[in-house]
Amino acid sequence: MAAAAAMFLLLNGCGVIAETDARNSSSAAVAPSIEASSKAPVAVPTPGKGPACPSLRCASITVTGDMLVHTQLWQQARADAAAAGQPGYTFVPLLEGQRRYVSASDLAICHQETPVGNPEGPFSAYPSFNVPPQIVAAAKEIGYQACTTASNHTIDRGTEGVLRTLDALDAAGLKHTGSYRTEAASKEILLLKTPAATIAIIEGTYGHNGQIPEYPWLVDELDSAAMIAKAARARALGADIVLGVMHAGDEYASEPNAQQQDVAHALVDSGQFTMVYGHHTHSVLPIENYKGTWIVYGLGNGITELSPWYVVNNEGLLVRAQFSQNSAGAWTVSDLAWAPSVMVRDPYRWCSVASDAPQGVCASPAADAQTHQRTQSVVESMGAAAAGAHELLITKEK
């Protein structure tokens, strides 16, 4: 890279772990030294945001599903910009309902499902996406700090689309992982810090809709062995919490498929992951507590236009996990909470249908109740409630 200064950190001969340069500096945090990470935690209370911390140190993380920008959504964004007397597009009003949840956590992670185009277009939707980059700026404005980028649509616009999307994320100040500019960057570990903990994010996608990436390292694949190896390196670099992220599943399903369960269980069995979650199916999937570790199989859509054929497409799940450190220094989930959501139109907005109705009525009282019931029945179908997962009532928190 022109005029770029690079730093390489080698660990046991396994290759490049971290690289920073003038162009790619925001795609990965600079890792702490292994020597520093092995020191005992400082006994200073750091409860973090969210529910009352049951231990000395806590960190809360909010995750949401696919940011799937179809034509009607960018038409809405253009109308919202015009109404505000602004040029171009703004997706902030569409996402605004998420702000209250995001602000009640130490870290919020979105999923940028599709490549972005140039600010003025041309844009395209399914099957080959190229969406307004203003969606990235809006995610940052709402409070997200990072986005995953590996999906079956990542290479819809080839390598150029991947680079354009990473440039937009960098310009907005959002950290990212899942797709990369260089082979060296693909070996980096994304480490994000809260006041109490260092969090690593490791993602993989099941495929690319039959397309083949120009370079094998361009997008992270859903490979449990590779993800486990990367998680082990993240631990060695000082990660307290490691999140495994799967972009996989059967579209519009209400249960995980064999691949999702096999990969998720393998990640947990490795002992390297603190929590696993996923997206892709455009439907909410169950939450499972497997051997004491939470697996959120599918968050549904973070945003999307309304489907007249698949009602589950219009629904989503926001999940907040509070992690706490025990006396032995290990981090586990001490509270797992979920909030059901639905997309509404005229105007298009993300809207929470949680029992406390933080945004008021979304579609209608009856429709909201149906969405809530449908989401809850799926979320709890693998024993989540009995294991302690509960609804997130944001208005009840201080």
pLDDT reported for residue 39: 52
CA–CA gap between residue 303 and residue 300 (Å, rounded): 9
pLDDT at 32 over 50: no
Name the pLDDT band for 50 (thresholds 50, 70, 90).
Answer: very high
Rg (CA), the chain: 20
pLDDT at 14 over 60: no
pTM: 0.89
pLDDT at 279 over 90: yes
Q: Mean pLDDT, to the nearest integer, of 284-307?
A: 97
pLDDT at 37 over 80: no
CB 69 within 8 A of CB 115: no
**Long-range CB contacts (< 8 A, 24+ apart) of 329-333?**
329/40, 329/41, 331/59, 331/197, 331/240, 331/241, 331/274, 332/274, 332/292, 333/274, 333/275, 333/293, 333/294
pLDDT reported for residue 40: 54
Residues in the chain: 398
Q: Check residue 50 and give left, alpha or beta (phi > 0: left; psi -120 to 50: alpha).
A: left
Distances (CA, A) of 355 to 143, 247, 296: 23, 28, 20
Name the pLDDT band for 258 (thresholds 50, 70, 90).
Answer: very high
State percent of the chain over pLDDT 70: 89
pLDDT at 169 over 80: yes
Report phi then psi at 116, rounded to 5.
-110, 155
Q: pLDDT, tens digit, for every residue of 360-382? A: 999 999 999 999 999 999 999 99
pLDDT at 342 over 80: yes
**What CATH code is assigned to 43-396?**
3.60.21.10
Q: Output the six-digit token pair for 294.
A: 């939470």
pLDDT at 26 over 50: no
List of residues 6+ apart from 190 with CB closer than 8 A: 27, 28, 29, 146, 175, 176, 177, 200, 201
pLDDT at 23 over 70: no
Is the pLDDT higher at 42 or at 65?
A: 65
CA–CA gap between residue 153 and residue 388 (Å, rounded): 34
pLDDT at 266 over 50: yes
Q: Mean pLDDT, to the nearest integer, of 272-277?
A: 98
Bond before 122 cis per omega within 30 degrees = yes
Q: Check residue 217 and give left, alpha or beta (phi > 0: left; psi -120 to 50: alpha).
A: alpha
pLDDT reported for residue 398: 77
pLDDT reported for residue 220: 98
Name the pLDDT band for 231 (thresholds 50, 70, 90).
Answer: very high
Q: Beta-strand (E) ranges in 194-314?
A: 198-205, 241-247, 275-279, 287-290, 293-296, 301-303
pLDDT reported for residue 360: 98
Name the pLDDT band for 17 (thresholds 50, 70, 90).
Answer: very low
